[in-house]
Chains A and B, each alone.
Chain A
Amino acid sequence: MAGEPAIAVHELTKVFARGRVRALDGLSFEAQQGTVLGVLGPNGAGKTTAVRILSTVLRPDGGRASILGLDVVARAAQVRRSIGLAGQYAAVDENLSGRQNLVMIGRLSHLSRRAARRRADELLEQFDLTAAAGRSLKTYSGGMRRRLDLAAALVAEPPVLFFDEPTTGLDPKTRQDMWAWTERLVAGGTTVLLTTQYLEEADRLADTVVVVDHGRVIAQGTPASLKADIGTTVLLVTLANADDAARAAAVVAPLGTHPPTVQGERVEMNVADGARAGSQAMRALDAAGLLVTGLVLREPSLDDVFLQLTGHRAETGPEPLDRPLHPVPPPEPQGVLGR
Chain B
Amino acid sequence: MTAGTLPGVHEERRASSLRWLVDDSLTIAWRWLVAMVRLPESVVFSAIQPLMLVLLFRYVFGGAISGVRGSYVDYLMPGIFVQTVTFGSVISAVGMAEDLQKGIIERFRALPMARAAVVTGRTLSDLTRNLGSVLLMTGLGFAVGFRIHTTGLAFVAGLAILLLFSWAISWGFALIGLAVRSPETAQLATFPVLLPFTFASSAFVPVDRMPGWLQAFATNQPVSRVVDGCRALMSGGPTVRPVLGALAWSVGLLVVLVPLAVRRYVRTD
Contact = CB atoms under 8 A, between A and B. Distances in A.
Interface of A: 1, 4, 34, 52, 55-59, 68-69, 77, 80-85, 87, 89-97, 100, 104-105, 107-112, 115, 119, 136, 152, 156-159, 188-190
Given A56-B109, A91-B103, 19 more contacts: A1-B5, A56-B110, A57-B109, A85-B106, A89-B103, A91-B104, A91-B106, A95-B34, A95-B35, A96-B31, A105-B111, A107-B27, A108-B112, A110-B15, A152-B107, A156-B10, A159-B9, A188-B7, A189-B6
Interface of B: 1, 5-10, 12-13, 15, 20, 23-24, 27-28, 30-31, 34-35, 38-39, 102-113, 117, 269
B103 A158 contact: no
A257 B106 CA distance: 45
Contact of B10 (A1, A52, A97, A111): A111
Contacts of A104: 27, 30-31
B8 A188 contact: yes
Nearest to A159: B6
Contacts of A57: 106, 109-110, 269
Contact of B112 (A77, A115, A188): A77
Contacts of A159: 6-9
A91 B108 CA distance: 9
B1 A1 contact: yes
Nearest to B32: A95
11 contacts: A52-B106, A59-B269, A80-B111, A82-B6, A90-B103, A96-B31, A108-B112, A109-B10, A110-B12, A111-B12, A188-B8
A190 B110 contact: no
Nearest to A54: B110
Closest 7 CB pairs of A and B: A189-B7, A95-B35, A91-B103, A157-B8, A91-B107, A80-B112, A85-B110
B112 A81 contact: yes
Report which residue of A59, A84, A95 has the largest number of chain B beta carbons within 10 angstroms of its beta carbon.
A95
A96 B15 CA distance: 27
B246 to A, nearest CB: 34
A139 to B, nearest CB: 12
Most buried by B among A59, A81, A84: A81
B116 to A, nearest CB: 13
Contacts of A52: 106
Contacts of B8: 157-159, 188-190
Nearest to A190: B7
A20 B75 CA distance: 59
A107 B109 CA distance: 14
Nearest to A115: B10
Given A159-B8, A190-B8, A108 B39 contact: no
Contact of A87 (B15, B103, B117): B103
A329 to B, nearest CB: 46
A297 to B, nearest CB: 39
A267 B188 CA distance: 61
Contacts of A55: 109-110
Contacts of B24: 107-108
Given A80-B111, A104-B31, A111 B13 contact: yes
Contacts of A189: 6-8
Contact of B27 (A81, A108, A190): A108
Contacts of A34: 7
B7 A107 contact: no
A234 B44 CA distance: 62
Contacts of A93: 31, 35, 104
B1 A69 contact: yes
Nearest to A107: B27
Name, among B13, B104, B107, B113, the residue most crowded by chain A CB atoms within 10 Å (CB to CB).
B107
